[in-house]
Chains A and B, each alone.
Chain A
Amino acid sequence: MAERRIPSPVLLSAVRGSLRPVRPYLPPSLRALALLPVGVVLLVGIPALWGPRPNLGLLGGFAAWGLSALQMLLGLTIVGLALREAVPGQELSRRTLAALVLLGVLLFLALTLTSEWLAPVALRRRVWVVEAIGCFRMAAMWGVPALAIASWPTVRASPTHPLVASAVCGLGTGLMTDAGMRLFCGVSTVSHVLVGHGAAILLLGALGAFVGAVADRLRP
C-alpha cells in the first residue's frame, strides 16, 4: 500500500493559521436571483428617472414592459450562467457559451425589429450621432455600476477562465441595462439601436473581460 502523504509543516502551519469554518457558496441560480433587484432597478429605474419613451403607447403593454422584462430575465439568466462558469469544475462548454451569446444577440435584434415595426421613428441624419452617443452614455451610466455589483461574485469564485466568465457577466448586465433603456429611448430606428444601445452592451462585455483580467492578476 502506498505511503500516506502528509503536508509539509510550513504548509500545515499556513493552513492552520487561517482555518475557520466557512459557508459554502449558494448555487449559481440562487446567487443570480440575489441580483434580481439590480435587474428590477434597471428595468424600472431608467424610465422612471428619465421618463418613459414618448411612443410607449404605440408599443403596447406586452411589447414594451413584457418584452423588456423578458430581456431583463434573459440577462439575469446569462449572469447566473456566468456565475456558474466562474466556479472551477463547473465551467460551461464552449458550445453552450456560444449558444448563450447567440441567444442574447438574437433577442436583442428581435426586440429592435419589433420596436421598429410597432413604433417607427424617422430620425434626421443630423441628430443621429448625437442621439446614439446620448443613449450610449446613459446606458453606460446605469450599466457600469450594475456590472460592478454583478461581477464581484464572478471574480471572487476563482474562475479558470476569468476573461470569459466576466465577459459573459458583462453581456448579461448589458442586456439587463438595455431592457430599461428601450423603455426610455423613443428612437426605434434599427441603426440607432444597434449603434447606441448595442455598443453599450458590447462595452459592458469588454469591461467585464477587463475586470476579470485585472482581478486575476491581483489574486495572490
Chain B
Amino acid sequence: MDGAEAGNRGRVDGVTPFTPEGRRLHMGDSGSEAPESEARLVFAMIAYQAGKLDGFTDLYAELASDLERFFVGTAGREVAEDLVQDAFLEIHRSRRTYRAPKPVRPWVFGLAWNVLRRYRRTAWRRRRREEAAGVALARSTEASRRDRPLFDAGDLQEALRRLPATRREAWVLHHQHGWSFQEIAARLAIGVDAAKLRSSRAMRSLRRVLGVAQPPEPAAGCDYERGDPRG
C-alpha cells in the first residue's frame, strides 16, 4: 500500500495556492479561514485514505460540529448526535470515493445527506415499532423489578422515555430483549457499528440520568459497551 500512499502524497504536494488545484480550492471562498480549513481537510482525507487514524480524527475535529448543525437543522436535536456518528461511519465506508484535491465538504455533506435520507426513510417504520416496543418495555420493566434492586423500575422507564427513539430502541432490543447487534442492525436497517454506538450512547445517558457510576444490570455478566448479552 506504499504505492497508494506515495500517490496520495504526490497529490498533496501539488496543493498550494499557486497551483491550478490550489487556486480551485480557493475559489468561491471570501474569508482566509475557509481555504485553510479546506486544505487541512484535503490533507486529513489523504492521510485517512493512506490508512492513518490521525487523518480520521482530524477530519472529525474539523467537521463534527458542522455535521451536527446540519443534522440539528434537518432531523432535530435529539437524533443529531447519532446521525453524526452514522455519517462518520458512512464516510469511513465510502472513503475510497473521495478524490484529492477536490473539496472535502461537498463530498462529506453528500454522504451526510445519504444518512439523513435513510434516517427519514426508516423513521415511519420506527414510529410503528415504537408502539410495540413500548408494550414490551412495560413488560420488561415489570420483570426487571424483581431482578434489579439498584434503582426503581419506574426511574428506568422514565429515563428511557427521555432518550431519543433511535437510541432507546437499540438499547431496549439489546439489553432487555437480548438481541445481538447483528440482529438489531438488520431490523433497524443500520450498520452493526451504528447499532453498537446507539446502544452505547443510550447506556451513557441512562447512567447519567439514574446517577449510577456502574452500568445497571438487566442481565448478569453483560458488557454494556461492547458485549453481547447472549455471549
Binding site for B on A (CB under 8 A): 2, 4-8, 10-12, 14-16, 18-25, 27, 87-91, 157-158, 160, 216-217, 219-220
How far does the alpha carbon of A5 sit from the alpha carbon of B60 in the complex, in Å? 7
How far does the alpha carbon of A66 sit from the alpha carbon of B15 in the complex, in Å? 42
If over half of B's interface residues share one DSSP class (helix, strand or loop), that class is named, otherwise mixed; here it is: helix
Q: Are B61 and A21 in contact (CB under 8 A)?
A: no
Provide the B31-56 mask, 1 if CB < 8 A to any CB of A, else 0. Answer: 00000000000000000011101001
A-B contact pairs, 23 of them (CB 8 A): A5-B60, A7-B56, A7-B88, A8-B201, A10-B197, A11-B85, A11-B89, A11-B193, A14-B197, A15-B53, A16-B53, A19-B92, A21-B49, A22-B49, A23-B96, A88-B113, A158-B97, A160-B110, A160-B111, A160-B113, A160-B114, A216-B118, A220-B190
Residues in B with CB closer than 8 Å to A10 are 193, 196-197, 200, 225-226
Query: B73-96: which residues lie under 8 A (CB-CB) from chain A?
Result: 85, 88-90, 92-96
Q: Are A24 and B49 in contact (CB under 8 A)?
A: yes
In chain A, what residue has the closest Cβ to B81?
A8
Residues in A with CB closer than 8 Å to B192 are 220
How far does the alpha carbon of A24 sit from the alpha carbon of B60 in the complex, in Å? 20
Check B166 for interface membership: any CB of A closer than 8 A: no
How far does the alpha carbon of A14 sit from the alpha carbon of B93 in the complex, in Å? 11
A24-B100, A91-B110 are known contacts. Are A6 and B193 too (CB-CB below 8 A)? no
How far does the alpha carbon of A174 sit from the alpha carbon of B42 in the complex, in Å? 37
If over half of A's interface residues share one DSSP class (helix, strand or loop), that class is named, otherwise mixed; here it is: loop
Residues in A with CB closer than 8 Å to B201 are 8
How far does the alpha carbon of A4 sit from the alpha carbon of B114 in the complex, in Å? 26
A24-B98, A89-B103, A158-B111 are known contacts. Are A18 and B1 too (CB-CB below 8 A)? no
How far does the alpha carbon of A216 sit from the alpha carbon of B97 in the complex, in Å? 16
A22-B95, A25-B97 are known contacts. Are A5 and B64 too (CB-CB below 8 A)? yes
A4-B61, A89-B109 are known contacts. Are A15 and B56 too (CB-CB below 8 A)? yes
Most buried by B among A4, A7, A89, A91: A89
Most buried by A among B64, B99, B190: B99
